[in-house]
Amino acid sequence: MLIKRIASICFAIAFLMAIVLFARVGTNYISISTARIIFMIAGASALVLNLFSFQSNKQNPVFTLVFWLGSVVLFVGLIFQFKHWPYHKVIVIVGLAITGISFFLSPSLLTGKSDTSDVLDDPKNQV
Burial of 29 (0-12, 13-18, 19+ CB in 10 A): exposed
**The dihedral of CA 35, 92, 70, 103: what is its sign?**
positive
Residue 107: what pLDDT? 59
* pTM of model > 0.85: no
Tens of pLDDT along the chain (127 residues) come to 788 889 889 988 998 998 898 888 888 999 999 999 999 999 889 888 887 776 555 667 777 788 888 888 988 998 898 888 999 999 999 998 998 888 887 655 555 555 555 555 555 555 5
Residue 13: what pLDDT? 92
Residue 38: what pLDDT? 94
Distance separating alpha carbons of residues 67 and 122, to the nearest angstrom: 29
Overall residue count recorded for the chain in this entry = 127
Residue 66: what pLDDT? 84
